[in-house]
Amino acid sequence: MTGQVRTVDGRVAGRRGQATRQKLLDCLSEMLSSSPYRDVKVIDVARKAGTSPATFYQYFPDVEGAVLEIAEQMAAEGAALTELLEGRSWAGKAGWQTAQELVDGFLEFWRKNDAILRVVDLGAAEGDKRFYKLRMKILNSVNNSLADAVAELQAKGRVDKDVNPAAVAGSLVAMLAAVASHQKGFSSWGVKQAELKPNLALLVHLGVTGRKPTK
């Protein structure tokens, strides 16, 4: 499926080459966490990895290309987010727990990968299809599950007919993502992490079921 890892000029990368390549990706990842995206330079990444810019360009067309690679790896891990919703109930107390665990897992994932996700978000917002598709890929698991949950409740008549499940799910996911990437903003605005989560869960529960949770 993944084919072989190749250099920019078409050679297949061997063991050593793949190690170098991965080291470059790791260093880039670190740099993205510590300095603004706009200021991340190839030469810095290469230096940090103990190699030269020329080597970098053997494996990646540019910084953006390398970021896409990292994001791709992260997207694969992000598939695990589906588990947060797989086979969960939205009724009664179980529903409240589902909402809480979703919020928890989502914020955790976002916090762990915030540097890359920032860049993916930016790229997507700028209209770059590659980043945009990647963002979809990451969010789709949660998004689809949520939309299904809404649609199901709708079929049972417990949610209004004129609700669009995809729109609601997408909005809720966007909310989670946005709050996650501005967590610091909240905290210094007088809202603490611990307070934030239950309120987010409340909003999610309200959005999905249309009702307040029974705790």
Q: Which residues bind DNA (CB under 7 A)?
A: 7-8, 11-20, 41-44, 50-55, 57-58, 62-63
> Using the rule CB under 8 A, is 199 a contact of a second copy?
yes
Residue 13 interacts, among DNA, a second copy, none and using kind-specific CB cut-offs from 5 to 8 Å, with DNA
> Using the rule CB under 8 A, is 152 a contact of a second copy?
no
Q: Which residue of 71, 81, 85, 179 would you call a contact of a second copy, by CB under 8 A?
A: 179
Q: Which residue of 1, 3, 15, 126 would you call a contact of a second copy, by CB under 8 A?
A: 126
Residue 125 interacts, among DNA, a second copy, none and using kind-specific CB cut-offs from 5 to 8 Å, with a second copy
Residue 207 interacts, among a second copy, DNA, none and using kind-specific CB cut-offs from 5 to 8 Å, with a second copy
DSSP symbols for the chain = -----B-TTSPBP-HHHHHHHHHHHHHHHHHHHHS-GGG--HHHHHHHTTS-HHHHHHH-SSHHHHHHHHHHHHHHHHGGGGGGTTT---SHHHHHHHHHHHHHHHHHHHHHTHHHHHHHHHHHHTT-HHHHHHHHHHHHHHHHHHHHHHHHHHHTTSS-TT--HHHHHHHHHHHHHHHHHTHHHHHTTT--HHHHHHHHHHHHHHHHHSSPPP-
* Residue 81, Cβ density class (10 Å: 0-12 exposed, 13-18 middle, ≥19 buried): buried
Q: Which residue of 76, 80, 91, 174 would you call a contact of a second copy, by CB under 8 A?
A: 174
CB of 15 to DNA, least distance (A): 6
Q: How far apart are CA 170 and CA 19, in angstroms?
A: 38
Structure tokens at 123: 């790229």
Residue 28 interacts, among DNA, a second copy, none and using kind-specific CB cut-offs from 5 to 8 Å, with none
> Using the rule CB under 8 A, is 206 a contact of a second copy?
yes
Interacting span for a second copy (CB under 8 A) from 19-27, 80-88, 90-98, 124-132: 124-132
Residues that bind a second copy (CB under 8 A): 36-38, 63-64, 114, 118, 121-128, 132, 135-136, 160, 162-164, 166-168, 170-172, 174-175, 177-179, 181-182, 184-186, 189-191, 195-196, 198-200, 202-203, 206-207, 210, 212
